[in-house]
Structure 1
Amino acid sequence: MIDFRYHLVSIIAVFLALTVGIVLGTTMLQDPLLDTLRSETAELRGQTEDLRVERDTADRVNAGADQMAEALSADMLEGRLAGLEVVLVLSPGADAETADSLTSRVEQAGGSVAGRVEIAEELLDDDNTDFAGETARQVLADPDSLAGLDPYEKVGAAVGRALAAPEEDTGGAGIDEVDTDEAEEAEGEPDGFDAEAALAAFADGGLLTVDGSPAASADAAVVLAPAAGYSPSGDDRKAANTALAALVSSLHGELGGLVLAGDVPSARGDGLLALARAGEPGFATADLSGRPMGDVVAVLALAEDMDGAGGAYGIGDGVGGFLPDPLPGPREEPGGDDEDDGAAVKASDGPRDAARGEE
């Protein structure tokens, strides 16, 4: 049997050890530990302040860049889309104010917006995939031309053809010299394709919303990506944007020029611009829309794409620069004095070439 004094000595030893630990913790170890914590806290506060200053500086620089873009946009855009009809295509979740701003920039560049086509979220619903593809097949006079395309590529091809202005053999004449009777026949082509009826079929099926008179009118298109924070039905953002990327690519095949515009988040991860750029598209992309400078860049990118040189612009991954370089020059107005010079004049044919001639 263990003696009571043994228990007592053990208890005293335990409490003595605790006492020694407390004394050491509050005297010998306290000051170095507190000094370390104070030092680390001060360092973190300094880093936080540096980041705050950097953020505030970046905000002021961006605000200044937007202000400069507003001030110089008239000179930068003047004549870049002269005489062109542009259709605005809105993805589900696209920002309406950005669409209005892009419309203003197109008009500032000398173009006009014939109408808008809004892609309904129902078009991206898995349950409507076959219906959408079948609608595209039915509205085309030559459905065999869609062979091998997935449903969203079929929709893009059909909608693109319905939007595209008919190609006319003007024999060198300006657009305003083309027979007006031919222009009126554009909506119902000899091959049986009816542009207005095609758009109406998609609208009646709840797949598109059409505003204005975009049928058989578009020389080019501005496609606006979903805004940041938009989540499609089913929350499968990648699947929805993959479908949209296929649609836009096929749409571009039917039109003379196209720019896919979106905000910065759309150029990251599973965003529409990021997925489109991964496929190395033949159309232009711009990822700063929603800001004055970004909308100006989008229109410049479209003007460049009209000459077949579509690039990726903005600040996202895979861009070729912030904006086209050299800038596209003003387009000649249809029926102008120098008809033999072609429809477009590149900026590289201007001051830079003149400078070379002086050397």
Structure 2
Amino acid sequence: MIDFRYHLVSIVAVFLALTVGLVLGTTMLQDPLLNTLKSETSELREQSETLRTEKERAESLNDGGDQMAAVYAEDMLDRRLDGTGVVVVSAPGADEEVRKGLQARVEQAGGTVEGHLALADKYIDPDQATFVGELADQLAEGADESGAGGGPYERAAARLADALGVAPEPEGGEEGEDGGSEDEEGSEEGGGGIDGEAVLAGFAEAGLLTVEGEPADAADAVLVVAPATPFPAGASPSPEGEAAEPPGNDAVLPLVAAVGEDGPALLAGDASAAGTGGLIARVRREGAPSATADATGRSSGDVAAVLALAEAMEGDPGHYGTGEEVDGFLPDPPPPAREADETGERTEKTADRRTPQAG
């Protein structure tokens, strides 16, 4: 008959067997296990040292490339933007030092920075989208119908593009007796027939942007600086289960597209802007007609960005840097220098700004 003593003896026997097994196992396996761990640790340490050395070497090569780019930047950029009026637009969160570095390279290439628009956080606030659209409609008096449709940010982008002067100029204007166009009196207004200064002032007074310099109706080309870090993602995931697209991209993308549709434009930023949730990645994915560069913030990347803008001036915008879907680090071959015409003056704007300017 099985009683309590039987169960007690059985339990003691089981625990004794486990104890003996643990003792024998640790004693017999201790040396092989320790040797294996020591070997793997040594291999990992060697791999770590190799990776560290490779990282330091890559950083040295990058620094050397930047030094070389800085030395030869003047020759590489010589007259690539000669006579070009450039308006710079900063997205909310754009790095000021990156913007100033790009502006310096634009001037080194012979371009003139006519002014700077800094979009405010209020501009990309989803709660302000209706207000942005209503303001754009109020400021649209005298504009053509090309930017009348679309959502609030599409309408705002059309107004801003017109105000900067990048919209196409009217074609076929009849010449007067003095050889000028009959609509020459309205040339001080934006390409869409609006008062550029009034439009920019309206957006500025509403706290949607700040204006530096005199960018109204002054843009032969537009340089947009992406935020230093991607905009925060939306609250709701997409139907596919992916993270929602940042609302800030939805607000700024139409402006990048608008300035690129009617004139040379470049969206420039660093590697983060070309990564997940980045504005450059979004522009490339959706095929907006603007050039992009994703290696700014260092000499080589800034030079490549200005060369990309110069290439866009030739009517062939490309994508450059180190991110996905790029054509290379910089245009190959680089765009030609802009030449003076027979009168010694730089070629003026043409009616179609996407057409390469003649030498």
**TM-score bucket (shorter structure):** 0.7 to 0.9
Amino acid across the alignment from 1:279 = E
Structure 1 equivalent of residue 188 of structure 2: 187
Aligned residue runs from structure 1 range 313-352, under 5 A: 313-333=320-340, 336-337=343-344, 343-344=357-358
For the Cα contact (< 8 Å) 2:293–2:308, is it kept in 1?
A: yes
Residue 336 of structure 2 aligns to a residue whose secondary structure is strand
d(CA) in 1 for partners of 2:346, 2:222: 25
Give the aligned partner of residue 349 of structure 1: none
Please tell me the root mean square deviation across aligned C-alpha atoms, in Å: 3.1
SS in structure 1 of the partner of residue 28 of structure 2 = coil
1:330 alignment partner, SS class: coil
Deviation for aligned residue 1:209: 0.7
Contact 1:332 1:343 in 2 (8 A): no
Distance 2:185 2:108 in 1: 27
Contact residue 87 and residue 113 of structure 1 kept, 8 A: yes
Q: What percentage of residue pairs aligned between the two structures are identical?
A: 50
d(CA) in 1 for partners of 2:189 and 2:299? 39
Structure that is richer in helix per residue: 1
Unaligned runs of 5+ residues in structure 2 are: 174-178, 237-243, 348-355
Superposition map of 1:210-225 within 5 A: 210-225=211-226
The separation in 1 between residues aligned to 2:131 and 2:15, in whole angstroms, is 81
Deviates most, 120-129 or 99-108: 120-129
Shift in Å, 1:251: 2.3
Q: 1:273, 1:196 → 2: CA distance?
A: 29
Q: Find the aligned partners of 2:234 and 2:118 in 1 and give their Cα distance.
A: 17
1:306 aligned onto 2:313: yes
Paired position in structure 2 for 1:351: none
Task: Report the Cα distance in structure 1 between the residues aligned to 2:123 and 2:251, rounded to whole angstroms.
Answer: 9
Supply the AA of the counterpart residue of 2:201. A
Match of 2:352 in 1: none
Instruction: Give the one of 221, 238, 250 matched to 2:246.
Output: 238
- Map of 1:355 onto structure 2: none
Candidates 262, 266, 276, aligned match of 1:269: 276
Distance 1:319 1:231 in 2: 24
Q: 5+ unaligned residues in a row in structure 1: which ranges?
A: 172-177, 346-359
State how far apart, in whole Å, the 2-side matches of 1:41 and 1:129 are.
56
Shift of 1:76: 0.3
* Residues 200-209 or 10-19, more deviating: 10-19
In 2, the alpha carbon distance for the partners of 1:238 and 1:295 equals: 26
3-state SS, counterpart of residue 68 of structure 2 = helix
Q: Aligned runs of 1:1-359 on 2, under 5 Å?
A: 6=6, 9-10=9-10, 13-14=13-14, 16-140=16-140, 141-142=142-143, 144-164=145-165, 167=169, 186-188=187-189, 193-228=194-229, 231=232, 238-254=246-262, 256-333=263-340, 336-337=343-344, 343-344=357-358
| Alpha-carbon distance between aligned partners in 2 of 1:333 and 1:339, rounded to the nearest angstrom | 5
Taking the aligned partners of 1:306 and 1:144, their CA distance within structure 2 comes to 26
Once the two structures are superposed, residues 39-81 of structure 1 have per-residue CA deviations (whole angstroms, 9 ceiling, x without a partner) of: 2222221221122112111111111111111011000001000
Offset at residue 16 of structure 1 (A): 3.5
Provide, for residues 184-238 of structure 1, a one-character-per-residue CA deviation record: whole Å limited to 9, x for no partner.
Answer: 9643479862110011011111111111111111100110000026648989762
Measured in 1, the distance between the counterparts of 2:208 and 2:313 equals: 28
1:117/1:6 CA distance change after superposition, 3 Å: same
TM-score for both structures, normalised by structure 2 = 0.84
User: How far does residue 122 in structure 1 lie from its aligned partner after superposition?
Assistant: 0.6
Partners of 2:101 and 2:156 in 1: CA distance: 27
Taking the aligned partners of 2:74 and 2:202, their CA distance within structure 1 comes to: 39
Q: 1:336 to 1:37 in 2, by over 3 A?
A: farther
Distance 1:87 1:314 in 2: 22
Pick closer, same or farther for the CA change 1:105–1:21 going to 2, 3 Å. same
How many residues end up aligned between the 2 structures? 335
Please give the secondary structure, in 2, of the residue aligned with 1:187. Answer: coil
Q: 1:252 to 1:144 in 2, by over 3 A?
A: same
